[in-house]
Structure 1
Amino acid sequence: MDNLLYPYYSIKLWLDSVIFLIIAFSLILLTLFNSNQPFGIILAFFLIILTKYPIQKTIKNLYRSLKNQPAIELTEAYFFDHINNIKIYWHNIDKLSVISIRGNTYVNFILKDNNEYAKQLNGFLPKILFKLPDPEEIATKTEISLVKGRKEDIYNSICKFREAKKL
């Protein structure tokens, strides 16, 4: 099988990203300039720590979208989620499913070895969430509503690549 590259769905990516960045920076600035100091500065510091990785990820995805680089990539050896910068090897996938959360569509991966996945996680919050009970529901999903194309076709392509590697 040849590698498959799926581009970003630019309109949704840009809309979601702009809304997120405006809200994140507004909250940080509002707490920073709060009249209850030093509480506002301390709260702004914690907000910066919590939003550092999501802001970096958002800016990276916007840049990749401008450069027409793929959002997800299917190769002979792995599924590469450029949205989250995660590589999932086909041999590590136990089950696949499609889930919908608040209007967004995700491919949910149930993995054989969660540690292989956890080593790739960036950011403080994802690492903490992954240590909670039942981390498959939290950490191993890729938002395909940010990917251009029919969601069913994208999911079927991922399943075909996985099945080809199982044989």
Structure 2
Amino acid sequence: ASEIIKVIKKTMDMHVSVRINPWDVRKDGMTAEESLKVAKELEKAGADSIQLTARTISYLYDGNEKNPFLVYVDRLIDEIDIPVILGGSLRDMKSMNDVLNNTEVELMSMSKPFVAQADFLADWKANGEGVSICQSCNNCYSKKTSTCFKHF
């Protein structure tokens, strides 16, 4: 990835954002410490931002302690000097405002909520608060069609 970033930065005038998982929760898989090192190397190579995403967060979070993803993102923000974009299971305005008000996160990304409900942000604006109908079931991506199979 480092070499690809270097080529893109050398040949094109574009923002390079790299998506990484903080850990993969597999036997002998990448740990949070290793992913911090990866993020630092990506920054050195010229990445303009790092986007965090993880399908495996549910294995680590029981709802009783602070979400480990949020602990990791604050640590990453402290350790690198490029923007960090938080992704992963952002589906309701209350949780997103909580992240913005109680962490160092300034940027967030979403994809699946738009697949399930393309106009959900307009609905939130009109109603003042809201929850996407997306349940992060991943059916929309299992068939590679970006179609919500649960609600349509």
TM-score, with normalisation over the residues of structure 1?
A: 0.27
Bigger strand fraction = 1
Bigger helix fraction = 1
* Higher RCO by CA contacts (8 Å cutoff, separation 6 or greater): 1
Report the structure number with the largest CA radius of gyration: 1
